[in-house]
Structure 1
């Protein structure tokens, strides 16, 4: 009873809580009794207190092994705030100078420090091992323990040396290992590697009932993200991308669109990353765009949304990253974008890895693909992955699949056939092999086992691949089959499956809803709205263009080209700043010709009471801005366009397109020096005069009227660029 009383007293005195959450009290008691303890608790479940409180109550210093410097800093800052003394908690890592390290060691030796956070790399340094031998270590806490396992989503080889180092520090030091994501396989790896097979296991449910899970096909992804965030006004969130380049791009687009965002990735210096983290915690910034490095141990309870711009590499990574939303039990929206191109990229990353690592990576990625493409309750799939059975009715429509209209099919006969095949063939095949047999897809493995001669070969061809993928996926989710991930994901019979073969019964499964990947090329584009054209406004804008063109003795297309007018009729820009975001309208054209167009549109919008789709006017960054700047600078230096193309590694035709885009947006470029080299003056005059009186800027029409034998397509394009630059800008 004494422990119990002091537990609650300390909980209240130090952390200000009146009650423990879940298994916290039992875990802390176990640690205080110096027993090895294994804690599997979802993000937001309160793992930190499980080692922080017993550390404060124990004699000596607890060593907390943590993988990230940012995570250590965050937790040390919090402990110091609670305890009022800086000496109560320290970290020991590569960010400290010699003087800092000396101060840390003095506080620890003096018995002032209850928690010492160390990175696994720092722990194994000889001078640190020698130092830790001289102090009283109360216990060792291994945070983010899944880093031990190659099957975990964040494998760190240094974690596999932890046990060996602990043995070198002292005998019988108790260990508490903690993780928020551990499949049965990862749990087994952690126990074996830390030599804690007798540890008491405390496993909380992985279900986060307040999180809403959704997967969308990856189309117009930037536009979708901006629109989504604009709908979450005043809320904070995290966007995860796989590459640093994409992190920078998305962050820039968000800021252009009035959303305060900062990038976070390992390429930034430590001070910038720490400042970014602090700004997010202090809500000086709404959104962090990050690689997976961001968020581990960040104690921000009110993150309201987590977006995956790219599908994650593993279900563990996905679960942990989405788990950073709604840690206070409030709203947490988890939106992931999925495309086959992302899967191809991730598969390519694994190509050069050793065979064993590649096999593991392939199995882990396949689970993400199955999750994304399945129509089954997302929550049921996530929890099954972590070895937890869940009845989807408990989801309460908190995922897109549960909210969607479903198509069911009678599964009894097909399930019986699949189970019979696996039992008869000795449980030596994965799901892909079984599906190939059912649809009659002959390949080397199928023919090698003579399964092309099996009675079931091709029997289910008429049902299609999606049907069989749905069936096998749900056979696993409902425990008729189990995947042996240690052995290439081979399908094994379970007791439930064997019982079903003896006593089959009618059951229905859900048909997958294949995501629409059409127009995937637009997924990397900032995009423009494709709303219905306002034909009445378009006529008015064309009349205005004609009037301005006539007053300046210019062809109408020099003022604004048709695609620009079309877009004005879907976005209704009512200021010069908004007009500049329209395709083909840069600053130059907006200033030179824009005022009258904006006035006309503004009056039209007010007169017709039009609800402008401002949330759809997504302002994009030019992905090729560096190339454009280089082109302008080289043309100013009068370097030949063919030489610029060669230097930039693009074709001459591609360069002309870039130059044309720059000129059409309103930037004046003097390419006369190059045109004079390519086309004699008489032919230049002829093309110039043609464009002056032409109704259209079509190169094909110009070739027809001027004679295709006398000019090439590139000649006319070059002259059109010169003409537009000199007269239009």
Structure 2
């Protein structure tokens, strides 16, 4: 009883809390009793308290092994603030000077330091091992313990040496391992490697009931992100991207649109990264755009949304990153953009890795694909991945799949067919192989095993691949099947699966949503229609105005603005030059030259019809979204051959012409005479130029039909059209 009282006294005196969260009390009591302890607790559950409090109450110094310098600094600062003395907690890592290291060692030797944070790389240095042997070590806490396992999302080889080092420091030192993400497989790996099979295991539920999960097909992602952030102005958020380049691009787009955002990635100077972190914590900045390195150990409780511009490489990564939202129990929205192209990129990265690593990576990535494409409750899938069964009714519509429209199918016969096939071929294959047999695919592995001779071969073709993908996923989620992740994801029948083959019963499954074609932001140069229905009445008025102006200036209408630009004006309603410049195909040149009457007309139309303008939809993009445009303009100014410009950027001739066309369409003047004069003789040039002067539309096909495709090539007409638009329109 005395211990219990002193436990609460210490909690109150040191941290100012009256009560423990979840299983904290049981965990701390177990550590104080000198037992090995394994804590699996989701982000925000209060893991650090589990080793901080017993360290303060024990004789000697507790060693905390952590891979993250940012996290160490953060926790040491907090402990010093609570304890009122700097010597109570220290860290030992590569960022310290020699003088710093001496001060740390003096404090530890004198018994003032209760917690010493060490990076695994520093721990393995012989001089540090020798030093730690001189001290009384109360216990060793291994934080982020999933780094031990190759099946974890953040494997670090130096973590596998920790057990050996602990044995060198002293005998019978208790170990506490902690992680926020551990699948059953990773859990087993950690215990085996740290030789703590007799440890007491405390596993909390992974359900974060306040988080809303959503996956969107990736179309115009940057535009959608800016729109989302503008709708949540003033709230803190983190946006994750897979590449540094995309981090910079998204941060720039947000700043252009009046959002205080900063990039964060490993390519930045450590001081800049530390400043960025502080600005986010101090709320000088609302949004951080980061590669996955950000947010580890950043204890900001009121992050209101986490957006994934790209799907992460693993479900653990996804869980941990989304877990940075709503740690105070308040609102937390998690939106991820999914595109097949992104998955292809991730698979390409894996091609150069050793075979074993590639196999593991492929298995882990497949879980991400299944999660994104499935129509089942997101929470149920996420928790199942961590070995937790969850009834989707408990989701309370806190994910897009539970809120959205559902398409069910009767699964009794299909499930029976799939399970019987798995049993017949001996439970030695993965889901792709099973689906290939059912779909009757011409697949090498199917033929090698002569599974194309089975009665099941092609028997599911009529139902389509999406149905079988949906069914296999849900057979796993509902525990008819289990997946042997160690053995390349081979499927085994469970007791429930075998029982279903014997006694099938009526069961309904959800059909996966078709994500449809998705694209990357890199292809967003062409005019895209914004959200909202097209205002046909305004479109007609704008076309009439364009015709009138064209007549006055003696120009074809398309030289002033092309149709896609007018259509975009009808969804965005730009009412000043700044807004007009953001319309695709307008640009600064055209906005100044032709914009005024269009702006006046739209402004009056908006007022007369009392239109609520979707201001957030007019999203500014960087004036020259790609450095490529600047490069092309500069090299045309230097009179370089178009073929050479294309070759130096790895483009085809057609691609370079398309880029040049986009530049000219937006109102930039380009003088290509030096090149055209070499390619097309003068008479031909004149004839095409005259044709475009009187043309109603700027179609190259119409021009070729009129001028005769025997006399002119498409390329010649295209070049002349560029020259015409540049000279006459810009």
The alpha carbon displacement at 1:602 in A equals 0.7
Contact 2:341 2:520 in 1 (8 A): no
Per the alignment, residue 38 of structure 1 pairs with: 38
Distance 2:438 2:678 in 1: 66
Q: C-alpha deviations, 1:301-343, integer Å up to 9, x for none?
A: 1111122222222111111111111111111112222222222
Distance 1:148 1:507 in 2: 44
Contact 2:531 2:617 in 1 (8 A): no
Per the alignment, residue 636 of structure 2 pairs with: 635
Per the alignment, residue 79 of structure 2 pairs with: 79
Per the alignment, residue 615 of structure 2 pairs with: 614
The alpha carbon displacement at 1:94 in A equals 2.0
**How has the CA–CA distance of structure 1 residues 524 and 237 changed in structure 2, closer, same or farther, with 3 Å as cutoff?**
farther
| 1:161 and 2:161 matched | yes
Per the alignment, residue 390 of structure 1 pairs with: 390
Distance 2:441 2:719 in 1: 53
Per the alignment, residue 91 of structure 2 pairs with: 91
| 1:321 and 2:321 matched | yes
Per the alignment, residue 452 of structure 1 pairs with: 452
**How has the CA–CA distance of structure 1 residues 564 and 454 changed in structure 2, closer, same or farther, with 3 Å as cutoff?**
closer
SS in 2 for 1:336: strand
Per the alignment, residue 337 of structure 1 pairs with: 337
Per the alignment, residue 114 of structure 2 pairs with: 114
Distance 1:169 1:317 in 2: 33
Q: C-alpha deviations, 1:559-586, integer Å up to 9, x for none?
A: 3233222221221100111000011111
**Any unmatched runs of 5+ in structure 1?**
none
| 1:585 and 2:586 matched | yes
The alpha carbon displacement at 1:709 in A equals 5.2
Per the alignment, residue 669 of structure 2 pairs with: 668
**How has the CA–CA distance of structure 1 residues 62 and 605 changed in structure 2, closer, same or farther, with 3 Å as cutoff?**
same
Contact 1:411 1:506 in 2 (8 A): no
The alpha carbon displacement at 1:710 in A equals 5.1
Per the alignment, residue 525 of structure 1 pairs with: 524
The alpha carbon displacement at 1:706 in A equals 4.8
**How has the CA–CA distance of structure 1 residues 658 and 114 changed in structure 2, closer, same or farther, with 3 Å as cutoff?**
same
The alpha carbon displacement at 1:627 in A equals 1.5
The alpha carbon displacement at 1:299 in A equals 0.6
Contact 1:406 1:510 in 2 (8 A): no
The alpha carbon displacement at 1:531 in A equals 4.0
Distance 1:172 1:587 in 2: 73
Q: How does 1:423-438 map to 2 (within 5 A)?
A: 423-438=423-438
**How has the CA–CA distance of structure 1 residues 715 and 463 changed in structure 2, closer, same or farther, with 3 Å as cutoff?**
closer
| 1:568 and 2:564 matched | no
Once superposed, what is the RMSD of the aligned Cα atoms?
A: 2.5
Q: How does 1:112-511 map to 2 (within 5 A)?
A: 112-441=112-441, 443-502=443-502, 504=503, 506-511=505-510
**Any unmatched runs of 5+ in structure 2?**
none
| 1:15 and 2:53 matched | no
The alpha carbon displacement at 1:387 in A equals 1.3
* Aligned length in residues: 728
The alpha carbon displacement at 1:523 in A equals 8.2
SS in 2 for 1:324: coil
Distance 2:711 2:226 in 1: 49
Q: TM-score, normalised by structure 2?
A: 0.93
Per the alignment, residue 651 of structure 1 pairs with: 652
The alpha carbon displacement at 1:666 in A equals 2.4
Distance 1:722 1:441 in 2: 52
Per the alignment, residue 513 of structure 1 pairs with: 512
The alpha carbon displacement at 1:501 in A equals 4.4
SS in 1 for 2:383: helix
Distance 2:435 2:653 in 1: 48
**How has the CA–CA distance of structure 1 residues 708 and 395 changed in structure 2, closer, same or farther, with 3 Å as cutoff?**
closer
**How has the CA–CA distance of structure 1 residues 6 and 446 changed in structure 2, closer, same or farther, with 3 Å as cutoff?**
same
Per the alignment, residue 595 of structure 1 pairs with: 596
Distance 1:454 1:718 in 2: 59
Distance 2:420 2:711 in 1: 74
Structure 1 stretch displaced more, 599-608 or 620-629: 620-629
Contact 1:419 1:501 in 2 (8 A): yes
Q: C-alpha deviations, 1:665-694, integer Å up to 9, x for none?
A: 222333333344444555545544444444
